[in-house]
Amino acid sequence: MIHTIFALLIVLANALLPASARADVMLMAHGYLGSAASWEQSGIVQQLTSQGWERAGILMTTPAGVREIPAPGQKAKNKIYLVDLPSIAPLTIQADHLTPMLRLLNARHPNERFILVGHSVGGVVLRLALVRGEIPRASTLITLAAPHLGTPRAEQALDATDDGPMEIVKDFFGGGGYQTLKVSRGLYFDIVRQHPGSLLFWLNHQPHPAIRYLSIVRGDPFAMGDILVPGISQDLNNVPALRGRAITRIAGVGHELAWPDGMLLLSLLKENKK
């Protein structure tokens, strides 16, 4: 009887603890042609660390497995892991690279919640991992300028790199930028505007976990989008499986990460603690 009462008191005490007492792992995934450094160079990580989040490390995959560049914050209450993904690869390949990193973090932090933050294509990769059931303790997904419904820019890039009689001329005059477009074709096929049979169409109609979804949409103040992704595509509420479930914020006009994104993330994280 005493043990039962004691157990009930522990449950009650845990229920009454403020949300801020819970430990969180933030996993940040970069976008196309980005890297883990994108979060540092934009000043976003610095803003997060100034408010109590600590760098825990950078994760990447190699033929030998997951490689880690550790940082001191792995034991901190609120910690940040950055991932390096093959950003020009198709969505499923990027998600496959993410899988062993998630296994490592799930084993290292077995009782902590995961907050997922993805920029551009990185936001779609994280959502794909969620739907595949690879992040069991996820509490929040935040995406910034992500092409959830696809983008016509991908279709333009496919047209521009379609092999044909002018291929040699394109190759000669296009230089390194054109070569990058060519090797990115697999990804472009994945992020064309969704249509039946496409990966995005499949993903957008799959059951999504019952967590908190937030989308940061470019095009302040009218949410028209940026030069790469239309605003309607960036809004998670337009994903059929998430209609009406997401919180949307409009911020910035360019596609790239910028330091004001850090301020907005901190605001959203504070709301998430309530």
One pLDDT digit (tens) per residue for the chain, 274 residues: 433 332 333 233 333 333 344 689 999 999 999 999 999 999 999 999 999 999 999 999 999 999 999 999 999 999 999 999 999 999 999 999 999 999 999 999 999 999 999 999 999 999 999 999 999 999 999 999 999 999 999 999 999 888 665 454 455 444 568 889 999 999 999 999 999 999 999 999 999 999 999 999 998 777 799 999 999 999 999 999 999 999 999 998 899 999 999 999 999 988 866 5
What pLDDT score does 167 carry? Answer: 54
Measured between alpha carbons, how far is 32 from 185 in angstroms, rounded to an integer?
Answer: 12
Closest CA to 81 of 106, 60, 119, 55: 55
Q: Give 66: exposed, middle or buried? Use CB within 10 Å, 0-12, 13-18, 19+.
A: middle
pLDDT digits (tens, 9 = 90+) for 61-78: 999 999 999 999 999 999
Q: Which residues have a Cβ under 8 Å from the Cβ of 60 and sit 6 or more positions away? A: 36, 66, 67, 68, 83, 84, 85, 101
Q: Is this model's pTM higher than 0.85 or not? A: yes
Question: Domain residue spans in the chain?
Answer: 22-150+199-272, 152-190
Structure tokens at 22: 């819970």
Amino acid occupying residue 184: S
Check if the beta carbon of residue 195 is closer than 8 Å to that of residue 151. no
Q: Which two tokens stand for residue 238?
A: 């337009």
Report the alpha-carbon distance of residue 228 to residue 139 in Å, rounded. 28
**Candidate CATH numbers 3.40.50.300, 3.40.50.1820, 3.20.20.60, 2.40.110.10; the one for domain 22-150+199-272:** 3.40.50.1820
Sequence-ordered alpha helix ranges (H) in the chain: 2-16, 37-41, 44-49, 91-108, 121-131, 152-160, 167-183, 185-190, 199-204, 231-234, 259-272
Q: What are the residues whose beta carbons fall under 8 Å from the beta carbon of 183, sequence distance 6 or more?
A: 88
Q: How many Å apart are CA 200 and CA 7, to the nearest integer?
A: 46
| pLDDT number for residue 223 | 79
